[in-house]
């Protein structure tokens, strides 16, 4: 009898945790490998892109990407305490181990776990000499459709020193839409939560008729410019009451939107459900929902028409696949949220290719001219990763891409060191 506590049992009691230790190995020598180190670096893109590198004793390493890099990278490096000596091929077990030992770590934890998990898939693909999509079940499509986040049109980054309606104009939205479509994209979205006249009470989350009319004018101008054959989404960034979101949605019904994104705060499942029921326009949400269980809550409540799990913070590619399965049971498509660099985008493309109910994957870095230079395909180094609105799946082992150290070195954040 011992007085030492059993750390496998949560402090609050309940069902004991699984014992996830592995004391015997039964793999052949070429697959009997161990994790030896975790390194990270931060790239200053339009957001900070967090890169995770996992090294092994087999002269094979993997790379992944995290969301919210500033916080998640620190946690990712600390996970070496738990992962050193483990076999990187045991991806599902190691992901459960991290979730089990860091229960309650929240979105930062999920982001860190995702970066680790993507790097583990990269290792596994390299060890087995197959692309990641093969490990995730094989593909439904060779090319993954990308939709372009077009932000606030040509007004992106401009300060509003006067009337915001003179900055966020129908002309600026139409111009950006034309440019994006001419670049080959067949789907795009805009931010529709931009400022209108200055006396709107933003804390109240409610808009008056004048403000709503301004938003309608932006959508109308885009449709007049690009027509109705292009998928067009609008993002409200959780900013409105149910009443205002409903009024906006009804005013936009004639413009046949592909979706209206995040109309109300993310925790308001019932509000999402009321809007989904009230509007013909599909409601898309999910970038702040991070597990298959959470997505099941939304789907079962009728709170979404299209799900948007974030590629780099939902817990990993395996979890994203589980989310897709849950959504498929309810007839819900996936348009994964993605604000990452090329590593996270390629990882998202691999899992998107394996999902039957896939719609499109987000691309959020049109304003970063060196985005496509940061990484190169290993199967075709001279070919771009993103071309004419599609990612042609890399066929190299693992993710099938590697980071260009020269480009990465030019764009490191202050204090970050090159690791590739």
Helices 292-300 and 317-329 meet at what angle, rounded to 10? 20
Q: Is the pLDDT of residue 119 over 90?
A: yes
Q: What is the pLDDT of residue 15?
A: 42
Residue 16: per-residue pLDDT:
53
The pLDDT tens digits of the residues spanning 171-205 come to: 999 999 999 999 999 999 999 998 876 666 667 77
Asked whether residue 355 carries a pLDDT value surpassing 90, the answer given is yes
How many distinct helices (H) and strands (E) make up the chain? 13, 15
pLDDT on residue 154: 60
Q: Which of 307, 313, 308, 363 is nearest to 330 (CA)?
A: 307
Residue 163 lies in a domain: yes
In a domain, 1, yes or no: no
Residues 282-332 have pLDDT tens digits of 999 999 998 899 999 999 999 999 999 999 999 899 999 999 999 999 999
Residue 330 belongs to a domain:
yes
Q: Give residue 7's pLDDT band: very low, low, confident or very high (50, 70, 90).
A: very low
Query: What does the pLDDT read at residue 199?
Result: 66
Residue 123 CA to residue 137 CA, distance in Å, equals 17
Distances (CA, A) of 373 to 13, 370, 376, 407: 51, 5, 7, 7
* Six token digits for residue 43: 């790239």
Residue 255 buriedness (CB in 10 A; 0-12 / 13-18 / 19+): middle
- Domain of residue 166 covers 135-398
What is the mean predicted confidence (pLDDT) over 213-231? 97
Q: What is the DSSP track for 156-178?
A: TT---SS-GGGTS-HHHHHHHHH
Q: What average pLDDT score do residues 223-252 get? A: 97
Non-local CB neighbours of 152 within 8 Å, separated by 6+ positions = 168, 172, 173, 190, 191, 194
Tokens for 229, please give them: 């054959």
| Predicted local distance difference test score (pLDDT) of residue 161 | 53
Tokens of 283: 């409601």
What φ, ψ does residue 270 adopt, rounded to 5°? Answer: -65, -40
Contact 121, 132 (CB under 8 A): yes
With cut-offs at 50, 70 and 90, classify the pLDDT of residue 4.
very low
| Residues 322, 40 contacting (CB under 8 angstroms) | no
**Residue environment code for 207-234, b if the CB has 16+ CB neighbours within 10 A, otherwise e:** beeebbebbbebbbbbbebbeeebbbbb
- Percent of the chain's residues with pLDDT above 90: 79
Q: What is the pLDDT of residue 152?
A: 82
- Interior CA angle at 241 toward 106 and 329, to 5°? 55
Instruction: Assess whether pLDDT exceeds 90 at residue 24.
Output: no
Q: Is residue 295 part of a domain?
A: yes
Q: What percent of the chain has pLDDT over 70?
A: 91
In the chain, the N- to C-terminal Cα span, in Å, equals 50
* Parallel/antiparallel/unpaired status of strands 187-191 and 143-149: parallel
Cα 264–chain centre separation: 19
Q: Which of 253, 251, 235 is nearest to 243 (CA)?
A: 251
265 three-state secondary structure: coil
Reported as a pLDDT band with limits 50, 70 and 90, residue 8 is very low
- CA–CA separation, 344 vs 315, rounded Å? 13
Closest by alpha carbon to 283, among 319, 249, 317?
A: 249
Is the pLDDT reported for residue 343 higher than 50?
A: yes
What pLDDT sits at residue 290?
85
Bridging pattern class, strands 259-261 and 283-285: parallel
Look up the CATH number of the domain holding residue 316: 3.20.20.120
Residue 20 in domain: no
Query: Among 18-32, 65-79, 356-370, which stretch is predicted with the lowest mean pLDDT?
Result: 18-32
3-state secondary structure 196-261: CCCCCCHHHCCCCHHHHHHHHHHHHHHHHHHCCCCEEEEECCCCCCHHHHHHHHHHHHHHCCCEEE
Of the two residues 159 and 212, the one the predictor is more confident about is: 212
Beta bridge partners of 403: 375
Tally the domains of the chain: 1
9 falls within a domain: no
Q: Say which DSSP state 143 is in.
A: E
Which among 69, 65, 124 is positioned nearest to 92, based on CA atoms?
Answer: 124
């Amino acid at each position: 009898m011992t007085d030492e506590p059993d750390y496998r049992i949560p402090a609050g009691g309940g069902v004991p945790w699984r014992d996830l230790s592995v004391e015997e190995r039964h793999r052949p020598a070429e697959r009997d490998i161990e994790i030896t180190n975790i390194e990270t670096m931060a790239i200053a893109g339009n957001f900070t892109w967090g890169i995770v590198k996992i090294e092994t004793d087999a002269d094979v390493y993997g790379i992944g990407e995290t969301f919210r890099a500033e916080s998640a990278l620190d946690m990712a490096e600390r996970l070496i305490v738990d992962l050193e000596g483990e076999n990187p091929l045991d991806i599902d077990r190691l992901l459960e181990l991290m979730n089990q030992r860091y229960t309650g770590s929240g979105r930062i934890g999920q982001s860190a776990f995702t970066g680790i998990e993507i790097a583990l898939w990269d290792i596994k693909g390299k060890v087995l000499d197959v692309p990641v999509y093969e490990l995730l079940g094989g593909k439904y499509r060779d090319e993954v459709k990308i939709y372009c986040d077009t932000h606030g049109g040509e007004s992106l980054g401009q300060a509003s020193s006067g009337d915001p309606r003179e900055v966020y104009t129908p002309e600026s939205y139409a111009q950006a839409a034309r440019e994006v479509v001419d670049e080959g994209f067949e789907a795009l979205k805009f931010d529709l939560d931009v400022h209108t006249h200055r006396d709107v009470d933003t804390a109240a989350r409610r808009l008056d008729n004048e403000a709503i009319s301004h938003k309608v004018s932006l959508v109308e101008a885009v449709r007049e410019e690009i027509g109705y054959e292009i998928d067009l989404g609008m993002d409200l960034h959780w900013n409105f009451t149910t009443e205002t979101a409903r009024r906006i949605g009804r005013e936009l019904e004639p413009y046949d939107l592909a979706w209206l994104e995040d109309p109300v705060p993310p925790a308001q499942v019932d509000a999402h459900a009321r809007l989904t029921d009230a509007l013909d326009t599909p409601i898309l949400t999910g970038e702040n929902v991070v597990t298959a269980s959470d997505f099941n809550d939304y789907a079962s409540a009728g709170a979404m028409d299209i799900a948007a799990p974030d590629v780099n913070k939902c817990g990993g590619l395996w979890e994203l696949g589980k989310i897709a399965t849950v959504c498929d049971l309810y007839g819900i498509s996936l348009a994964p949220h993605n604000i990452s660099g090329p590593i996270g985008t390629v990882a998202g493309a691999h899992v998107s290719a394996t999902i039957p109910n896939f719609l499109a994957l987000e691309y959020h870095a049109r304003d970063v001219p060196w985005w496509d230079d940061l990484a190169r395909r290993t199967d075709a180094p001279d070919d771009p990763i993103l071309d004419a609105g599609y990612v042609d799946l890399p066929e190299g082992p693992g993710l099938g891409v590697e980071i260009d150290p020269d480009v990465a070195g030019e764009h490191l954040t202050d204090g970050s060191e090159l690791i590739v």
